[in-house]
């Protein structure tokens, strides 16, 4: 089973997700937003699946530190995708893609349902 984790390595939720898979012996690949960015196609796909309001992390420090003009401009999916592409730390983490299903955010119970 191929599992791909998207996020940034120093994020607590990403660390928990990676530990979940490592402790169970599941191989995964890791896509680091800081090193590789993210393409618009992934963001569109995630927004279609989860809703842009869920993919955009408005609780994080990056969002809180953004200029109010930038924050106020995010009124729809298109604007959210542009912001997330330019500021990858505003993407909810981790996003996990797998043939068994996709998830967003760390949710151990959801992971157990999908992967164990």
Return the closest-CA partner of residue 3 out of 22, 24, 33, 29. 29
Q: Give yes or no: 11 in active site.
A: yes
Q: Which of 5, 6, 10, 11 is catalytic?
A: 11
Interacting residues of 24 by C-beta distance below 8 A, sequence separation 6+ = 115, 116
Query: What's the helix, strand, coil split of the chain in %, to 5?
Result: 55, 15, 30
By annotation, the residues acting in catalysis are 11
């Amino acid at each position: 089973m191929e599992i791909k984790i998207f996020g940034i390595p120093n994020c607590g939720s990403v660390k928990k997700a990676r530990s979940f898979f490592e402790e169970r012996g599941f191989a995964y690949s890791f896509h680091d937003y800081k090193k590789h960015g993210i393409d618009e196609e992934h963001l569109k796909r995630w927004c279609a699946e989860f809703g842009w309001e869920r993919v955009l992390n408005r609780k994080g420090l990056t969002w809180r530190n953004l200029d109010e003009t930038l924050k106020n401009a995010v009124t729809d999916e298109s604007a959210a995708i542009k912001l997330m592409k330019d500021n990858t730390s505003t993407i909810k983490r981790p996003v996990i893609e797998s043939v068994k299903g996709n998830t967003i955010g760390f949710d151990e119970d959801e992971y157990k349902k999908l992967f164990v």
